[in-house]
């Protein structure tokens, strides 16, 4: 499974427990981290790949459910 199939929110970094706890009390929003791409084209490519991976997964689920009926 690729990173795109598992994670639809790859823009946001996944914090550990302490970072998550600290961000809950961070009123200024200074602890928010984002996963960054080197170029806008790379960001677009990652987003499109993620969209198609999720779309493919949805189609596969629909086909499997259709076969069960």
How do residues 11-56 score in pLDDT, each as one tens digit?
666 667 877 777 778 777 777 767 778 999 998 998 899 889 999 9
3-class secondary structure, 39: coil
The full set of domain ranges for the chain reads 3-68
Contact 37/46 with Cβ under 8 angstroms? Answer: yes
The number of residues making up the chain comes to 69
Cα separation, 2 vs 18, in Å, equals: 27
Residue 12 phi, psi (nearest 5): -95, 135
pTM of the model: 0.55
């Amino acid at each position: 499974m690729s990173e795109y199939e598992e994670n639809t929110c790859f823009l946001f970094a996944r914090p550990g427990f302490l970072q998550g706890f600290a961000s809950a009390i961070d009123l200024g929003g200074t602890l928010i981290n984002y996963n960054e791409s080197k170029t806008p084209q790379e960001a677009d490519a990652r987003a499109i790949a993620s969209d198609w991976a999720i779309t493919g997964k949805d189609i596969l689920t629909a086909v499997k459910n259709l076969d069960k009926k």
